[in-house]
Amino acid sequence: MSQLTELTITQALALLQSREISSIELTEAYLDRIGKFESQIKAFITLTPELALQQAQAADKLRQNNSDYQLPALLGLPIAIKDVLAIKDIRCTCGSRILEDFVPPYTATTVQRLLDAGVVVLGKTNTDEFAMGSSTENSAYQTTHNPWNLEHVPGGSSGGSAAAVTSHFAPVALGSDTGGSVRQPASFCGISGLKPTYGRVSRYGLIAYGSSLDSVGIFAHTAEEIALIFQHIAGRDPRDATSMEIPVPSISLSENTSLVGMRIGVPKEYFISGIQPEVDAAVRSAVSQMEALGAEIVEISLPHTEYALPVYYLIATAEASANLARYDGMRYGYSAESATLWQRFKDTRGSGFGSEVKRRIMLGTYALSAGYYNAYYGQAQKVRTLIKRDFEQAYEKVDAIATPVAPTTAFKIGEHTNDPLAMYLEDIFTLPTNLAGVPGLAFPVGFDNQGLPVGMQLMGPHFKEESLLKLVHAYQLSTSWHKVLPDL
């Protein structure tokens, strides 16, 4: 039974289709594995085994009674969902005490589209509180452990989803990425993770952190599997005014590994001193591999890169301070029992939010305050435009940009908890993508000398997820980093 959990999505769907396995068997195999190892990993905040078995049974029944062409494409495939995406009637905590008992009355569009395609939901995965963090240590419930080394973090904020896929608790998982929260944990866990273009995937039902930066992303072992899921969740949604009416290509990935005709830019601002030498070496060697496959490698410059971190932490916190104003104890979730209304607001927010969330709300409120608005928020928006232009200019010359995902491999649990700035620096290479709204794909390219995975990021022009997936698919056909798995 345990090998069932090691099937790729394509293999699992083929076996389901040929009726060699049932969705119940597949789902039970994942639930068994979760039962065995979840106490070490702590990937899930909420497990939904009854629901999963119910959905699996329904999937099997549907398959029994219909011919293949009538069946939804992902029928019977198990999946894990980050606990910031709403699913009707399943509690959604966002990793926060303030939403401990919150049960949403509606389902996120991304999840709904996957449900319509037939998936089985195994549970809701751990996250830093309101997706603020890079390690899952800011979750009010638990810290997720890195499956490669339990003393290390899995990255964050979607660390639960990344650890779940890495541990073979689920073949695929959804996460969210506001500044790197899909790509950085994918990199720390040695799997692949896509942050789509802003506007490509609906944010309806994704509980808001920084609305101009947030996007729903996908974790799987390979680009091929991500491509399959991406096509189901992408596309215009009338419920998200920022989602775009741009057709989603049907992505077919060939067995051809040639990258002839592709130009890959290597920005000098992303290969700086301070990067862990093994990260630098593994990423450079992956770039050479792409060159060997026929790509032309071009040195480029993204000159405003150094401003991305301060700009992000002004814009993200400003938007967060506005988005999180709704948690006042009157409408959603936790409400303190206090004598006066004013005291109730204070107590609800004072004890409902954790310290990182409070820090962000204070920073954001300050950046937006009347006397400082122009100096901070207004200025940050201007510099954001310059960062966006850097990318536009680069994409006149290249098809994709190659960088490390993070300056280091997975750090130890507790290593950065008392140093917010050190934690913020983990996202230095991923957050420019969110500021510019362009897509980014992280994938494994090696290991450091402690045996921890190293990830590389390819960024592409707006709405060019397909070319990133093709590039990484070609790389993965010619290498095997994505096949090396941790021993639990």
- Residues annotated as catalytic are 82, 157, 181
Smallest separation (angstroms) from ligand GLN to the CB of 431: 7
CA atoms 431, 437, 438, 439: torsion sign: positive
Residue 121 or 316 having the CB closest to ligand GLN: 316
Piece of 90-98, 107-115, 127-135, 258-266 that binds ligand GLN (CB under 6 A) = 127-135
Structure tokens at 117: 């395609």
| CB closer to ligand GLN out of 235 and 420 | 420
Cβ neighbours, 10 Å, residue 484 = 13
The verdict on 136 binding ligand GLN (CB under 6 A) reads no
323 touches ligand GLN by CB under 6 A: no
Stretch touching ligand GLN by CB under 6 A, among 107-115, 128-136, 410-418, 448-456: 128-136
Q: Which of 72, 133, 171, 461 binds ligand GLN (CB under 6 A)?
A: 133
Q: How far is the CB of 188 from ligand GLN (least distance, A)?
A: 12
Token reading at 476? 């993965």
Measured from the CB atom, the residue of 48 and 176 that comes closer to ligand GLN is 176
CB 140 within 8 A of CB 129: yes
Nearer to ligand GLN, 180 or 196 (CB): 180
Q: Does 408 bind ligand GLN (CB under 6 A)?
A: no
Applying the rule CB under 6 A, the residues between 74 and 93 that interact with ligand GLN are none
Contact residue for ligand GLN among 23, 107, 126, 134 (CB under 6 A): 134
Q: In the complex, what is the shortest distance from the CB of residue 213 to ligand GLN, in angstroms, rounded to a whole number? A: 8
By beta-carbon proximity to ligand GLN, the closer residue of 115 and 131 is 131
Instruction: Provide the pairing of β-strand 400-404 with 263-267.
Output: parallel
- Report, in Å, the least distance between residue 219 CB and ligand GLN: 13
**Cβ–Cβ < 8 Å for 227, 251:** yes
* Number of amino acids touching ligand GLN (CB under 6 A): 14
Binding part of the chain for ligand GLN, among 101-109, 177-185, 274-282, 323-331 by CB under 6 A, reads 177-185
Asked if 145 and 156 touch (Cβ cutoff 8 Å), the reply is no
Give least dist CB 394 to ligand GLN, A.
Answer: 22
In angstroms, the CA 99 to CA 210 distance is 18
Q: Does 131 bind ligand GLN (CB under 6 A)?
A: yes
User: Could you tell me if 347 and 338 are in contact, meaning their C-beta atoms sit under 8 angstroms apart?
Assistant: yes
Q: How far is CA 137 from CA 99, 175, 358, 410, 474, in A?
A: 17, 16, 15, 13, 35
Query: Interacting stretch for ligand GLN, rule CB under 6 A, among 131-139, 164-172, 231-239, 286-294?
Result: 131-139
Q: Does 476 bind ligand GLN (CB under 6 A)?
A: no
Residue (55 or 138) nearer to ligand GLN, CB: 138
Choose the binding region for ligand GLN from 34-42, 172-180, 199-207, 410-418 (rule: CB under 6 A): 172-180
Give the interface segment with ligand GLN, choosing from 100-108, 174-182, 284-292, 294-302 (CB under 6 A). Answer: 174-182
Q: Identify residues 410-439 at the interface with ligand GLN (CB under 6 A).
A: 427
Binding mask 272-301 for ligand GLN (x = CB under 6 A): ------------------------------
| C-beta closer to ligand GLN: residue 179 or 446 | 179
Nearest-10 Cα torsion for 183, 186, 187, 189: 160
Return the number of the residue (137 or 269) whose C-beta is nearest ligand GLN.
137
Task: Decide: is 181 part of the binding site for ligand GLN (CB under 6 A).
Answer: yes
Residue 187 interacting with ligand GLN (CB under 6 A) = no
User: Of 4, 283, 316, 318, which lies in the binding site for ligand GLN, with binding defined by CB under 6 A?
Assistant: 316
Q: Does 132 bind ligand GLN (CB under 6 A)?
A: yes
Contact with ligand GLN (CB under 6 A): which of 137, 177, 390, 399?
177
231-270 binders of ligand GLN (CB under 6 A): none
CB of 362 to ligand GLN, least distance (A): 15
160 vs 180 by CB, closer to ligand GLN: 180
Q: Which of positions 148-167 make contact with ligand GLN (CB under 6 A)?
A: 157
Residues near ligand GLN (CB under 6 A): 131-134, 157, 176-181, 209, 316, 427
